[in-house]
Structure 1
Amino acid sequence: MKKWLAYPLLLCCMTASAQDVRDAAAKLQDQVVKWRRHFHQHPELSNREFATAKYVANYLKKLGLEVKTGVAHTGVVAVLDSGNPGPTVALRADMDALPVKEMNELPFRSQAMGGYNGKSVPVMHACGHDTHIAMLMGAATILSENKSSLQGKVKFVFQPAEEGVPAGERGGAELMVEQGVMQGVDVVFGLHISSDLDVGSVEYRDGGIMAGVDPFKIVIKGKQSHGAYPWQSVDPIVTSAQVIMGLQTIVSREIKLLDNAAVVTVGSIHGGVRSNIIPDKVEMLGTIRTLNPVARNKVYQSLPNKVEHIAASMGAEAEVTLPLEQSYPITYNDPALMSKMLPTLKRTAGEEHTLYTQAVTGAEDFSFFQQQVPGLYLFVGGKALDMPREKAPDHHTPYFVIDESGMQLGVELLTNLTLDYMKSAKH
């Protein structure tokens, strides 16, 4: 980093070229890889990122940042104050791993165990959060070394519990927001490494890029009877079957799919204990995924209406809990901000590697930050160029793997987005 760091970038007079930032990130790449491998070998589950947080906080303190720990249980928030007037840019990385047993034969593979809902489980960074931590530490390093050239402040947000909290707990981005992490912030940027996107590429989209998620619970109450005499029952199992089929018509017949995408899934159904007893009730659990508020509101109106009327038509009663427990908003990329920062993406990755993407129905609690201020969420390539896309291991699986060379682009993007936004805000 000597060449760039020896000559701080005076943003009041000039703009850091993509090559300047690329050179700095390239010289830091070996260290970023070391960080990533450390976190990969020592993963921790949601709300249990104690060692991870300590490691991150200790490094950020060495950079001379103002560091706060214990945010939303185990989160770390550090502020870089340039001393110059300007906006506050937040950069976010998630830190938690998953209850997955790693099957990769890597020298730094995880053999860690952890506790999840009262059970001892293997733990793995099976979604790339280890790379997110390392990339944000890299960006923090470059920006800190050029503190005097910045205009404003940078808030580095290392978030716990993106993957969801254990039963009976709270955490993640929603709790960070409640505890004031976004106070004073003007804009927020985040990214996610992708195991099936080529190294060196970045995917973007304005509007909804990841779905909002709303879990639900349905209880169908009927009348129990002997299985040989179903006419004496009000059968909640048959009623539930009708309900499940009816729910599928919300998307297929009520949502304008040319403009919207939505999913209504029943993932769990429980009722009865014997083959010859019709039970008195059935419980179902499911999830709703939507990509804009119009579709979300439509499903919220239609689902309970459909369930209650189908149940009534069968002589049963229905109780609908929507949402059940924690919901995630739509991960929504502010269109005006996306338009402003798109030249930064193209300058950093190259126009041919800056790809407009379709939305996905997975969810991200980064959306809670975007509810507070305009924000962008991007996908960064982590697939080796010689690996066919169809053979790339999926996220959340034991064979999840990424090409570490892809992290350099992540460091560059976080750095350039910060620098360019500060410059544009000044003007």
Structure 2
Amino acid sequence: MTKSKRLIALTAKYEKLIYETADYIWKHPETGFREWNTSAYMEEKFEQLGYTLRKAGDIPGFYTDLDTGRPGPKIAILGELDSLIVRNHPEADPETSYVHACGHHAQCATLIGVAAALKEPEALEGMCGSIRLISVPAEELIELGYRKELRQKGIITYFGGKVEYIYRGYFDQVDIAMMIHSGKLDEGKALAVSRGSNGCVTKNITFEGVSAHAGGAPQDGKNALYAATCAINAVNALRETFPDGEHIRFHPIITEAGLAVNAIPEVARIESYVRGASYESILTFNNKVNLAVSGAAASMGCKVEIDDQPGYFPLNNDKNLSLVIADAMREVAGPDSVDMDGKWGTGSTDMGDLSAIMPVVHPHSGGAAGTGHGSDYYIVDKELACLKPAQCLVVAADMLLKDDGALAKRVIEESSPYFSSKEAYLEAIDRLFMKREAVVYNENGTVSLHYCK
């Protein structure tokens, strides 16, 4: 029996544990930076397996290192803790509307399977280097107001869990990172590997007008809601100027729009992203959006504060690492089980931030049904969504770290991440921070727009 087949069998021994983990976390969803119960459950399982954990402490999550005892590269295998908010999902928490409608509970189960298999006595035979297992919070970029509060309190610096972990040094000395996200694939496929996906900047936009009696004296007011809707329409008018290949997205929600129907709304708030396929396109088109927003506010005589925060860097799956994970899944699920689709995704993930500084791969497994982030999303095949990804990641780790880490070293040597260091990456994303009053009414009656740095 080959080493890969032995590892596949070792992981399968923990099928019950894997599925129990998925079921528990599905029933106890929590959103980003609130995953205290989920993290505690994962911590307990890891400690029962014999791991010593480095806990984040003031936010959920942890990591642990498994050393082979022989020098070599360090690879990271990740699982995400957080849920979504989908109010009309049949199994959403009745109080919070939280639900794992993107399958992160399956990732946690996969990570438990990897951790259990790698603790088997023969699992690390022939490997060099070390493996860092990371349980990370807050991948879904939601509840921006809450994350802004955490930042103001000094608890976090960045809104995404992996970005925050990069900043805190939890990925220092890591050479390669990989994880598998559950999804809905074509029949017979166990894994799909894309080229990558969009990055984004997050936006909190506050329009300030003047309140007045909506029926008796609307002429005395300045309608912040109208300023917000004008801004949305102004950006909509820009959409045909967004180049197709850059995959620009702007999708706002209005989170406040007045407090009483008989008063002109004095304050309106919009929350949104600007997504794009490259760092440069995000910078360029975010400025165009800010200009449209500022001009719309000025046209209504309102003020507007634009508060931009770095969201996620575009994900670029490493070509060599993509081939490794594909070969590993073929060992697990058969020669025709992988779809190297080469597509570009228009969602965003903070795995992209890791791809900016090291080779990563973030493919999708099968096993899900329904629409991601939708009310009909479920894991319907735990073997495809949880067990096979765990087997795949264990086999991939062995492929990378056997033979004195020859394959891992090749991946590292031939990779070309966007930045040469964590410091250069952090400096670049920090340029996306901007908070300013974008419309200034001058004493001479003119208006100035300050919509970019």
Asked whether the two chains share a fold, i.e. TM above 0.5, the reply is yes
| Aligned residue pair count | 390
SS at match of 2:367: strand
How has the CA–CA distance of structure 1 residues 38 and 293 changed in structure 2, closer, same or farther, with 3 Å as cutoff?
Answer: same
The one-letter amino acid of 2:169's match is G
SS at match of 1:60: helix
Q: Show CA shifts across 1:165-184 (max 9, x none).
A: 64522472232222221011
Among 148, 170, 178, which residue is 2:167 paired with? 178
CA distance in 1, matches of 2:181, 2:58: 21
CA distance in 1, matches of 2:213, 2:87: 44
CA distance in 2, matches of 1:24, 1:382: 21
Q: In the alignment, does 2:93 pair up with 1:137? A: no
The one-letter amino acid of 2:203's match is P
The one-letter amino acid of 1:152's match is G
TM-align CA RMSD = 3.5
Query: 2:199–2:348: 8 Å Cα contact kept in structure 1?
Result: yes
**Which residue does 1:354 correspond to in 2?**
338
How has the CA–CA distance of structure 1 residues 220 and 36 changed in structure 2, closer, same or farther, with 3 Å as cutoff?
Answer: same
Query: 1:239–1:311: 8 Å Cα contact kept in structure 2?
Result: yes
Query: 2:226–2:300: 8 Å Cα contact kept in structure 1?
Result: no
How has the CA–CA distance of structure 1 residues 71 and 203 changed in structure 2, closer, same or farther, with 3 Å as cutoff?
Answer: farther
Superposition deviation, residue 319 in structure 1 = 2.4
**Which residue does 2:239 correspond to in 1?**
251
The one-letter amino acid of 1:411's match is A
**Which residue does 2:301 correspond to in 1?**
316
Among 380, 397, 401, which residue is 2:375 paired with? 397
CA distance in 1, matches of 2:260, 2:93: 40
Q: Show CA shifts across 1:245-282 (max 9, x none).
A: 220233322x220x221211221165456667655564
Q: In the alignment, does 2:409 pair up with 1:409? A: no
The one-letter amino acid of 2:118's match is L
Query: 1:307–1:318: 8 Å Cα contact kept in structure 2?
Result: no
TM-score normalised by structure 2 residue count: 0.73
Trace 1:44-59 onto structure 2 (pairs within 5 A).
44-59=30-45
Query: 2:213–2:264: 8 Å Cα contact kept in structure 1?
Result: yes
The one-letter amino acid of 1:127's match is C
**Which residue does 1:94 correspond to in 2?**
80
**Which residue does 1:24 correspond to in 2?**
10
**Which residue does 1:33 correspond to in 2?**
19
Among 192, 196, 199, which residue is 2:181 paired with? 192
SS at match of 1:405: helix
Query: 2:227–2:302: 8 Å Cα contact kept in structure 1?
Result: no
How has the CA–CA distance of structure 1 residues 285 and 52 changed in structure 2, closer, same or farther, with 3 Å as cutoff?
Answer: closer
CA distance in 1, matches of 2:57, 2:316: 24
Trace 1:21-420 onto structure 2 (pairs within 5 A).
21-71=7-57, 73-98=59-84, 120-121=95-96, 123-145=98-120, 146-163=123-140, 164=142, 166=146, 168-169=149-150, 170=156, 172-195=161-184, 198=187, 200-206=189-195, 208-219=196-207, 221=209, 237-253=225-241, 255-257=242-244, 259-268=245-254, 270-272=256-258, 278-279=264-265, 282-312=268-298, 314=299, 316-323=301-308, 327-335=311-319, 337-338=321-322, 341-355=325-339, 356=341, 358-383=343-368, 392=370, 394-397=372-375, 400-406=378-384, 407-420=386-399
CA distance in 2, matches of 1:99, 1:277: 31
Query: 2:84–2:373: 8 Å Cα contact kept in structure 1?
Result: no
CA distance in 2, matches of 1:42, 1:282: 34
Superposition deviation, residue 381 in structure 1 = 0.4
CA distance in 1, matches of 2:256, 2:204: 14
How has the CA–CA distance of structure 1 residues 141 and 226 changed in structure 2, closer, same or farther, with 3 Å as cutoff?
Answer: closer
Identity %: 19
Query: 1:101–1:398: 8 Å Cα contact kept in structure 2?
Result: no
Query: 2:214–2:261: 8 Å Cα contact kept in structure 1?
Result: no
Query: 1:195–1:395: 8 Å Cα contact kept in structure 2?
Result: no
How has the CA–CA distance of structure 1 residues 272 and 341 changed in structure 2, closer, same or farther, with 3 Å as cutoff?
Answer: closer
Query: 2:254–2:268: 8 Å Cα contact kept in structure 1?
Result: no
